[in-house]
Amino acid sequence: MSDDLWSITKKVERGDRLNADDGRRLFASDRIHTIGRMADTVRRRLHGNVTYYNVNRHFNYTNVCALSCLFCDFHRKAGDVGAYEYSLEDAREQARVAREVGATEIHIVGGLHPRLPFSYYIDMLRAIHDEYPRVHIKAFTAVEIVHLARIDRRPREVEAVLRDLMDAGLGSLPGGGAEVFDDRVHDEAFKGKIRSDKWIDVHRTAHRLGLMSNATILYGHIESSEDRLNHLLQLREAQDQAINENHAGRFQTVIPLPFIPGCSALANLPGPTALDDLKMLSISRLMLDNFQHVKAFWIMQTLPLAQLSLQYGVDDIDGTVVWYDITKVNDDTTHQETSVTDLRRAIIEAGFTPVERDTLYRPVERDGADWRVADQANKQPADASASAG
Ligand code: V47
């Protein structure tokens, strides 16, 4: 296959959609900086000089999981050393801290716990919503949603589950659990998890109900370039459908996640290199022409590489995070925090303008822990209970 990227460059300049063969040529090419420049053209067309970040908190309510995915260093079986589950009071405490620091989003995901009842999830959302009503709750991957549909004695429809969660305070779905949309990779590395059709189906249902969602791809383990490309094409097709059917919800952001070997069962693999990360982020920007945003999750890419990726199609570097259990920098702590000052510094130094966003990408005006959505400045009173600081 020719490594000539000239015709693709022309297509990108004209704003034409790239086809599967273009995608194949991009993945086969080692001209990463040329690919990055193309991705930058698209990124600047969509967002100019702006780079988004947010003030958020993540929490993982349990690491107990019925599955044992080979790439995952997070899951434990009930009774194992280190297995945990949050009480409602723990969840409430998370909301209290989020309110104190003025986080606009709480991101919640966990393992597929075999014994927690459906009421646990509803009560958790309500507890957070009651404690901090203004915070946007982005929670539960498509994999967890299907689990919730199955845990009652009588299995329920995904739509009914989503409606109940929305009533209790769910604001949107995160992009996790997609891994790689390929049956061979599925059966080797995450057997037992829902397959791609089901994952897409949950997001389609969410979009129909007006929920926004994100999408991920976990790359750099046992998948091939062709698998990565097919994954991106399936996401693009699902987004086309949401747009054509005029759903109120759709995918906002794609988050390519580099595999972190850690102590997982695939720890013998090296994980992707920095150049592979930049290439993956750039190709995601180029192939997903109907996604508004490409996010580098600095926890996984690292902040220095996330900073560099702003020139490779990325327009969002996620948030302050603070505690993150799924991948760790070392075994002693799950404390992984960056400050707004450091996020802004990284963005400015890379030549971009930092804009704080909420989960729905509305600009946020902030005064310490006090914040408001900028375009609703006159409608939405600042949270009286949030202290400045
Ligand atoms: O679904 C698990 C991945 C995901 C590893 O929607 C791993 O805004 C790398 O989805 N190495 C959860 N990745 C994280 C996620 C996410 C993160 C940030 C923002 C958003 C969003 C979503 O983490 C899991 C899985 O694909 N993961 N183990 C690992 N060893």
275, 334, 384, 314: which is closest to 74 by C-alpha?
334
104, 99, 146, 140: which is closest to 122 by C-alpha?
140
Asked whether residue 382 is assigned to any structural domain, the reply reads no
The encoded tokens of residue 159 equal 């739509």
Measure 246 CA to ligand 1 centroid, in angstroms.
28
Asked whether residue 369 is assigned to any structural domain, the reply reads no
Instruction: Give the model's confidence band at 5: pLDDT under 50 very low, under 70 low, under 90 confident, else very high.
Output: very high
Q: Would the pLDDT of 98 be above 90?
A: yes
- What integer is the mean pLDDT of 16-41? 98
Mutation test residue for ligand 1: of 257, 316, 320, the one with most atoms within 8 Å of CB: 257
- DSSP assigned state of 75: -
The protein residue whose alpha carbon is closest to atom 15 in ligand 1 is 176
Asked whether residue 370 is assigned to any structural domain, the reply reads no
Looking at residue 372, its pLDDT comes to: 96
Measure 152 CA to ligand 1 centroid, in angstroms.
27
Cα–Cα distance, 317 to 325 (Å, whole number): 18
Cβ of 326 less than 6 Å from ligand 1: yes
65, 260, 200, 57: which is closest to 139 by C-alpha?
57
Q: Would the pLDDT of 383 be above 50?
A: no
Cα–Cα distance, 143 to 329 (Å, whole number): 25
Contact 91, 61 (CB under 8 A): yes
Cβ of 179 less than 6 Å from ligand 1: yes
Asked whether residue 172 is assigned to any structural domain, the reply reads yes
Strands 293-294 and 251-258: parallel
Instruction: Give the model's confidence band at 86: pLDDT under 50 very low, under 70 low, under 90 confident, else very high.
Output: very high
- In order of 143, 194, 217, 331, 333, the CA distances from 236 in angstroms are 20, 20, 13, 37, 37
Atom of ligand 1 nearest to the CA of 262: 30
Cβ of 60 less than 6 Å from ligand 1: no
Atom of ligand 1 nearest to the CA of 318: 19
Note the pLDDT tens digit of each residue in 291-304.
999 999 998 999 99
Q: Would the pLDDT of 329 be above 70?
A: no
Cα–Cα distance, 190 to 178 (Å, whole number): 10
Looking at residue 83, its pLDDT comes to: 95
Note the pLDDT tens digit of each residue in 334-358.
676 788 999 999 999 999 999 999 9
Looking at residue 152, its pLDDT comes to: 79
The protein residue whose alpha carbon is closest to atom 6 in ligand 1 is 174
Looking at residue 17, its pLDDT comes to: 98
Q: Would the pLDDT of 332 be above 80?
A: no
- In order of 186, 204, 302, the CA distances from 264 in angstroms are 16, 31, 19
Q: Would the pLDDT of 154 be above 80?
A: yes
Average pLDDT score over the chain? 92
- DSSP assigned state of 258: E
The protein residue whose alpha carbon is closest to atom 28 in ligand 1 is 72
- What integer is the mean pLDDT of 56-80? 94
Looking at residue 320, its pLDDT comes to: 83
Note the pLDDT tens digit of each residue in 270-287.
999 999 999 999 999 999
Q: Would the pLDDT of 91 be above 90?
A: yes
* Sign of the CA dihedral with 341 first, then 346, 349, and 350 last: negative
Q: Which helix (H) or strand (E) holds 108?
A: strand 105-108
Measure 176 CA to ligand 1 centroid, in angstroms.
5
- What integer is the mean pLDDT of 319-331? 67
Domain coverage including residue 38: 3-358
Number of residues that make up the chain: 389
Cβ of 62 less than 6 Å from ligand 1: no
What pTM did the predictor assign?
0.93
Instruction: Give the model's confidence band at 258: pLDDT under 50 very low, under 70 low, under 90 confident, else very high.
Output: very high
CATH number of the domain enclosing 200: 3.20.20.70
Asked whether residue 40 is assigned to any structural domain, the reply reads yes
- Residue reference for tokens 């599955």: 67
The protein residue whose alpha carbon is closest to atom 7 in ligand 1 is 259
Asked whether residue 161 is assigned to any structural domain, the reply reads yes
- What integer is the mean pLDDT of 72-79? 92
Asked whether residue 366 is assigned to any structural domain, the reply reads no
Atom of ligand 1 nearest to the CA of 266: 30
Residue percentage of the chain with pLDDT more than 90: 87
Cα–Cα distance, 67 to 34 (Å, whole number): 40
Instruction: Give the model's confidence band at 378: pLDDT under 50 very low, under 70 low, under 90 confident, else very high.
Output: low
Q: Would the pLDDT of 385 be above 50?
A: no
What is the Rg, in whole angstroms, of the alpha carbon atoms belonging to the chain? 20
- What integer is the mean pLDDT of 219-228? 98
Q: Would the pLDDT of 290 be above 60?
A: yes
The encoded tokens of residue 214 equal 């994100």
Cα–Cα distance, 52 to 57 (Å, whole number): 16
- What integer is the mean pLDDT of 147-161? 92
Q: Domain tally for the chain? A: 1
Asked whether residue 349 is assigned to any structural domain, the reply reads yes
Q: What are phi and psi of 350, to 5 degrees?
A: -80, 0
- What integer is the mean pLDDT of 213-233? 98
Q: Which helix (H) or strand (E) holds 355?
A: strand 353-356
Q: Would the pLDDT of 330 be above 80?
A: no
